[in-house]
Structure 1
Amino acid sequence: MIRVLPLLLSLVLLAACASDDREQLVVYSPHGKELLEAYEAAFEAEHPDVDVVWLDMGAQDAYDRIRTERVNPQASLWWGAPQTLFMQAAAEGLLAPYTPTWVEAVPPEARDPEARWFGTYFTPEVVAYNTEALDSTAVPTDWDAMLDSAWADRIVIRSPLASGTMRTIYGAMILRQPTVEEGYRWLARLDQNTKAYTADPTQLYLKLARGEGDLTLWNMPDIALQRDENGYPFGYLVPAGGTPILVDAIAVVADAPNPERAQQFYEFVTTTDALIEQARAYHRIPARSDVPPDSLPGWMTALDLQPMPLDWARLATEGPDWMQYWDENIRGRGAEYLAEHGGE
């Protein structure tokens, strides 16, 4: 289903720029206004004849928009989403091959073999919490502890269907069970403890900061950024036993209206200096192996993360069906689902 209001908003934004004599470059990204505003200004300072127009949206929304617009693409660059969404988009012919200058610095598992997308960051998923409501010693230390009845009505979740992050987490929770059905029951138990699903990350941060929920599942960089930039009382814990570490990627859109400028911007935001700045200011963990460790924040080089083993190809192909099933059968009715399917 087309989301009418976001579509109208994007058309208004694009129309507002139509009278500008500069060359327009449209970027779809979930990276947030702080990072996007900074790189819009920096790129335009070096290229004053270019008007960077970014639309900040969920990763799934970006994929859906590019898919909907495939006969008349509006964006030239897609900057940010889990590799599973880029894998889907590449399989559907939505991405144009482009080999960046730093191709050799990215491991094979963090790039498309046909150069249709490349990883920019490694993004671990975490349990995040309100530090005014919970001491760190009280936070669940593993994924299954989130299902304890002690957390009933204390969890807030970003609505998964529009979120690449949440689709990754929910898909990972299914894959770590012996069967998909057992994965659905796990998600149903989580639903039982969920107080609210928010429409976007901003609402998630506000609910968590106001104490409308004590816990959430989200990505580490965004939680740390909101803590440091906005002063929100946020902490996070990496669950024991491993966590999904997704590859956050970038790609030029197939049949892009401005592919040359898209490639310029692609290179601009992925230089070594840019990645160091993104690590320091925005908590982004570079996927490139040639970024000097001593140039990165101390907390980042000290990270000792245990990746959760995941079949990313299966998550890319089967994940959309899993999430559709969850939305139609489990969301908001976890207890009923468990009663119907032999759960607890």
Structure 2
Amino acid sequence: MTISLRAFAAAALASLLTFSSAHALTVYSSVDEENAKKLLDAFTKATGVDVQMVFLSSGPAMSRIEAEKARPQADVWFGAPSENHILAKERGLTEPYVSQNADALPDQFKDVEGYWHAIYTNPLAIGVRTDILESRGAPVPASWEDLKNPAYKGLIQMPSPQSSGTAYSLILTLVEERGEDGAFEFLKALNPNVQTYTQSGTAPSGALGVGETPLAIQFTPGFLKLADEGYPVKVVFPSEGVGYEVASMSILKGAQNPDDAKKLVDWITSADGQGALSATKTYFLPIRSDVSGGTGVPALDQIKLTPVDPKFAAENKQRLVDRWTADVLGQ
């Protein structure tokens, strides 16, 4: 009798878990696990919608979504650069929904038909240890051009385009602003001021934090985290303009919970959802110009953004990286 009762209880629990799973919003997240959990927990708290999250980086997520196309196992793809969501749309893996907040988003942060919406952006920036520059009598830069100042000789860390997509984003930004030859003339002139080309795209902010370098170039989250933790770090968005990465989300075609999926789109693009980016300390920048990225961070419409053609970026990557290796490292 005891065994039967245990078996019944186990079966009942399994049934309950299956029911719960079937009714939770299932999210494939390509946002890092820590920050995805922060945001999705905030969504659940705000809406009451339960979420089951599976972390998958961009490539594996796309492969899994394609493999499950006939019988989708998730409702939403959350995160991954917008180019991936454009590809998912082209492959018929997602379905349209124009959020009630779409009008509040700049054109580059949404699909006009509603197949994807951006959720945050990370612009390039210069991280500055103001205390170190002050001790050296050196000025705080305001532009890319300022970084050629001889006062910064051997004081800058930036990633290497040979291993870092962040550094390639910088090359694309400069090509867009100066033309290809102008971009490489600038990078050659900058080279004497570069202390180290790091392998990782986030290593420069680590060096900035420990005072190994007073000037670093990368995407903003690492700099914003240092400033928030009390380091004497200023985040400078160069006046010529900055490239940026955009993380987006899509509702998967055949989603089992389309209504809750739409709630997630509406929440993350709302002022409250965008505010959660800073409130939960993700250090991602909001895509809405009416939402602050946190203390000392300008609204997005106050930062000059330099858009880059993703097709050009993909087709020219190896060539441009090879040119950097030859012209900059090999000079």
Q: Which runs of 5+ in 2 are unaligned?
A: 1-16
**1:60-79 matches, cutoff 5 A:** 62-69=57-64, 71-72=66-67, 76-79=76-79
User: Deviation string for 1:251-273 (max 9, x for gaps)?
Assistant: 21655876635444333433332
Hey, what does 1:324 align to over in structure 2?
318
**In 2 relative to 1, CA 27–269 (structure 1 residues): closer, same or farther, beyond 3 Å?**
same
Hey, what does 2:214 align to over in structure 1?
214
Q: What SS does structure 1 have at the residue aligned with 2:132?
A: coil
Hey, what does 1:114 align to over in structure 2?
113
For 2:141 and 2:313, locate their aligned partners in 1 and report how far apart those are by CA, in whole Å.
Answer: 26
Of 249, 252, 257, 2:250 maps to: 252
**In 2 relative to 1, CA 326–66 (structure 1 residues): closer, same or farther, beyond 3 Å?**
farther
**In 2 relative to 1, CA 189–89 (structure 1 residues): closer, same or farther, beyond 3 Å?**
farther
Contact 1:280 1:296 (C-alpha < 8 Å) held by counterparts? no
Q: What SS does structure 2 have at the residue aligned with 1:53?
A: strand
Hey, what does 1:307 align to over in structure 2?
304
Q: Rg: which structure is higher?
A: 2
User: Deviation string for 1:45-98 (max 9, x for gaps)?
Assistant: 56575322345xxxxxx44444444532687413264x5565566556565433
For 1:120 and 1:92, locate their aligned partners in 2 and report how far apart those are by CA, in whole Å.
Answer: 21
**In 2 relative to 1, CA 25–63 (structure 1 residues): closer, same or farther, beyond 3 Å?**
closer
For 1:130 and 1:78, locate their aligned partners in 2 and report how far apart those are by CA, in whole Å.
Answer: 34
Q: What SS does structure 1 have at the residue aligned with 2:30?
A: strand
**In 2 relative to 1, CA 243–90 (structure 1 residues): closer, same or farther, beyond 3 Å?**
farther
For 2:152 and 2:107, locate their aligned partners in 1 and report how far apart those are by CA, in whole Å.
Answer: 40
Hey, what does 1:15 align to over in structure 2?
none
Contact 2:157 2:195 (C-alpha < 8 Å) held by counterparts? yes
Hey, what does 2:186 align to over in structure 1?
186
Letter in 1 for 2:250: V
Letter in 1 for 2:242: P
Identity rate of aligned residues, in percent? 19
**In 2 relative to 1, CA 281–25 (structure 1 residues): closer, same or farther, beyond 3 Å?**
closer
Deviation at 1:117, TM superposition (A): 2.0
Which stretch shifts more, 98-107 or 182-191? Answer: 182-191
For 1:248 and 1:159, locate their aligned partners in 2 and report how far apart those are by CA, in whole Å.
Answer: 21
For 2:295 and 2:232, locate their aligned partners in 1 and report how far apart those are by CA, in whole Å.
Answer: 22
Contact 1:25 1:51 (C-alpha < 8 Å) held by counterparts? yes
Deviation at 1:195, TM superposition (A): 0.2
**1:225-244 matches, cutoff 5 A:** 225-228=225-228, 230-240=229-239, 242-244=240-242
1:142 paired to 2:134? no
For 1:50 and 1:252, locate their aligned partners in 2 and report how far apart those are by CA, in whole Å.
Answer: 15
**In 2 relative to 1, CA 166–84 (structure 1 residues): closer, same or farther, beyond 3 Å?**
farther
For 1:107 and 1:72, locate their aligned partners in 2 and report how far apart those are by CA, in whole Å.
Answer: 33
User: Deviation string for 1:207-240 (max 9, x for gaps)?
Assistant: 2212333222234455223321x44442222323
Letter in 1 for 2:241: T
User: Deviation string for 1:102-161 (max 9, x for gaps)?
Assistant: 223224343222322223446543211233422396233221232445544432224557
Which stretch shifts more, 99-108 or 39-48? Answer: 39-48
Equivalences, count: 299
Contact 1:155 1:194 (C-alpha < 8 Å) held by counterparts? yes
Q: What SS does structure 2 have at the residue aligned with 1:133?
A: helix
Alignment RMSD (CA, Å): 4.0
Hey, what does 1:36 align to over in structure 2?
36
**In 2 relative to 1, CA 298–151 (structure 1 residues): closer, same or farther, beyond 3 Å?**
closer
For 2:122 and 2:310, locate their aligned partners in 1 and report how far apart those are by CA, in whole Å.
Answer: 17
Q: What SS does structure 2 have at the residue aligned with 1:175?
A: helix
**In 2 relative to 1, CA 250–303 (structure 1 residues): closer, same or farther, beyond 3 Å?**
closer
Contact 1:126 1:243 (C-alpha < 8 Å) held by counterparts? no
Q: What SS does structure 1 have at the residue aligned with 2:78?
A: strand
Hey, what does 2:14 align to over in structure 1?
none
Contact 1:209 1:233 (C-alpha < 8 Å) held by counterparts? no
TM-score (norm 1): 0.67
**In 2 relative to 1, CA 64–77 (structure 1 residues): closer, same or farther, beyond 3 Å?**
same
**In 2 relative to 1, CA 26–141 (structure 1 residues): closer, same or farther, beyond 3 Å?**
same
For 2:204 and 2:257, locate their aligned partners in 1 and report how far apart those are by CA, in whole Å.
Answer: 35
Letter in 2 for 1:252: S
**In 2 relative to 1, CA 272–236 (structure 1 residues): closer, same or farther, beyond 3 Å?**
closer
For 1:162 and 1:68, locate their aligned partners in 2 and report how far apart those are by CA, in whole Å.
Answer: 23
User: Deviation string for 1:285-326 (max 9, x for gaps)?
Assistant: 54346x5x7x88675578883525x454xx211112333224
User: Deviation string for 1:148-199 (max 9, x for gaps)?
Assistant: 4554443222455776654433211111123x24424434544552503242
Letter in 1 for 2:213: G
Contact 1:27 1:79 (C-alpha < 8 Å) held by counterparts? yes
Hey, what does 2:328 align to over in structure 1?
334
